[in-house]
């Protein structure tokens, strides 16, 4: 059976986890992940294979939680650069980190935004391979 592959990203007041191989997992594995997220009042976004939980948690603590939940997964941590942790200063997503924006909005910004955060937007597009 394929192990879930998690990419953990810590933010100021939360963390998010991208499930790299969600499409290869069994229904039972996906349900176990969903239960793990729901028990922690988190949200699983199936459109981008990511779940987020509003809790300050270190990577090592996350891996311990997974073990206690009997989720056998491969985990790695991604540390945000200063550009990725920058906050949007305008519009619908004002106050959100650029790294938390939907792909569709980042691509829209690429075509329509010419302000001072252009370098941050370009770096985010590159980091997502869009």
Summarize the confidence of residues 56-74 as an average pLDDT: 94
- Max mean pLDDT among 32-36, 92-96, 97-101 falls in 32-36
Q: Is the pLDDT confidence value at 71 over 80? A: yes
Q: Is the pLDDT confidence value at 104 over 80? A: yes
Looking at residue 83, what is its pLDDT?
Answer: 63
The secondary structure of residue 99, as a DSSP letter, is G
What residue spans define the domains of the chain?
5-78, 81-130
Q: Is the pLDDT confidence value at 12 over 80? A: no
Mean pLDDT of the chain: 89
Looking at residue 84, what is its pLDDT?
Answer: 65
β-strand pairing of 74-78 with 5-10:
parallel
Looking at residue 82, what is its pLDDT?
Answer: 64
Query: What percent of the chain has a predicted confidence (pLDDT) above 70?
Result: 97
Summarize the confidence of residues 15-38 as an average pLDDT: 95
Distance (Å, whole) CA 77 – CA 17: 9
Q: Strand 74-78's sheet: what is its strand order?
A: 43-45, 50-53, 15-19, 5-10, 74-78
From 2.60.40, 3.40.50, 3.30.780, 3.60.70, which CATH number describes the 5-78 domain? 3.30.780
């Amino acid at each position: 059976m394929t192990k879930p592959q998690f990419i953990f990203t810590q933010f100021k007041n939360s963390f998010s986890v991208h499930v790299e191989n969600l499409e290869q997992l069994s229904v039972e594995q996906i349900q176990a992940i969903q239960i793990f997220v729901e028990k922690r009042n988190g949200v699983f976004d199936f459109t981008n294979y990511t779940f987020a939980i509003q809790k300050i948690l270190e990577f090592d603590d996350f891996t311990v939680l997974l073990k206690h939940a009997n989720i056998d997964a491969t985990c790695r941590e991604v540390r945000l650069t200063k550009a990725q942790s920058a906050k949007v200063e305008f519009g619908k997503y004002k106050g959100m980190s650029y790294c938390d924006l939907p792909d569709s909005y980042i691509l829209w910004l690429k075509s329509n935004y010419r302000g001072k955060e252009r370098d941050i937007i370009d770096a985010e597009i590159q980091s997502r391979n869009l």
